Amino acid sequence: MNTILIRHGETAANKTGHFQGSSDAPLNDKGLSQAKALARRLKSLDIQSIYSSPQKRAIQTAYPIAKSHDMDITEINGLRELDIGLLDGLDGQDLKDKYPAFLEQWRGNAGSLRMPGGESIVELQDRTWKAMQAIHLLHKRDTVIVVSHNFAIQSILIKVLGMDLKNFRRIKQDLAAITEIIFSQNE
């Protein structure tokens, strides 16, 4: 299976530095332009399916790609972004002011740390990997596009690379980034 992972385009929260997890923010004008550019870039690919997180910013990123391939988008809950709970909508200064103890732990070993009122990276990786396995079972020899989010994609890439979750911050990707994973047919 050849998987093209795509991080969603820019939202207002991305631009202002506010955290977004489960919030359902739409793409801003730049994000919509990024989505159209992704569709143009991926137009020549022979893809068999398009999967997306059900969150608005991911669906809006996937839509022009699906339209250019005359395909539907299959939404998968397992591809949602990390539920950051009470941190949703905060910025870095808010985090320092309201959750200094959490921030200190986050800097140390974020992999197993649960977000205040949310989930952990371990839980995120479990659900994103189950989603990827389900896609793989359906598309062992196909090329598919998967549109998701920063932490979700990081958790998938950490698993693929066999890295420890405490190192997830070593994986960086920009908004509207494309990452290709080629799974052997034996996997």
- Cβ–Cβ under 8 Å, residues 13 and 19: yes
Neighbouring residues of 11: CB distance < 8 A, sequence distance ≥ 6: 20, 25, 26, 27, 28, 31, 57
The residue ranges of DSSP E strands in the chain, in sequence order, are 2-7, 49-52, 73-75, 143-148, 178-182
CA gap 180, 5 in Å, rounded: 6
Establish whether 8 is a catalytic residue: yes
113 by DSSP, 3-state: which? Answer: coil
> What token pair was written down for 169?
């911050």
Q: Which of 8, 18, 69, 139 is flagged as catalytic?
A: 8
Q: How far is CA 14 from the centre of its chain?
A: 14
Catalytic residue among 81, 119, 139, 149: 81
Q: How far apart are CA 39 and CA 170, in angstroms?
A: 28
Q: Report how far residue 136's alpha carbon sits from residue 184's, in angstroms, rounded to the nearest whole number.
A: 11
Please, how many CA atoms are within 13 Å of residue 104, restricted to the half-sphere of its CB? Answer: 5
119 is catalytic: no
List, by residue number, the catalytic residues. Answer: 8, 81
